[in-house]
Structure 1
């Protein structure tokens, strides 16, 4: 479980830094001055989806979907880690 908790956020950040962010910048979108990393990530992810749909770029659509499902998996893993340690009465 610890591997999943460490691997999933790392995979999400690498996908963002190596594919989503450069894709947005290359297409002139995703500029968020003064924002924190969470807001910048979310804006880039949304913009990449919209650009990919317009350009019919299936590989970027797949990457955006992978990031979405990795977020869902991260939340589920953390919830499981929290609630599986609750002592039974």
Structure 2
């Protein structure tokens, strides 16, 4: 599903669940979505986690420096330590698919 597909689906769901059909536009939904992404990025930069109830948790995990072998050249390289973003799915969403 692409970003535009997701925005279209959200728009359709809002229209289904709202009595006043002129309340929101696809452009406003896209602005909200892009703002959400920005807030998640900014929060992760501050090394804090973002909890989205019913969806999951975005957070940074620290990976230690390590060595690995490049398969083509058999050369050993050092991969520096770094923080990487991770996403953990909520129990509610996991249980939804167990049915």
Output the TM-score relative to the length of structure 2: 0.28
Q: Of Structure 1 and Structure 2, which has the larger fraction of its residues in strand?
A: 2
Indicate the structure (1 or 2) with the bigger Cα radius of gyration: 2
Say which structure, 1 or 2, has more relative contact order (CA 8 Å, 6+ apart).
Answer: 1
Output the TM-score relative to the length of structure 1: 0.30
Q: Of Structure 1 and Structure 2, which has the larger fraction of its residues in helix?
A: 1
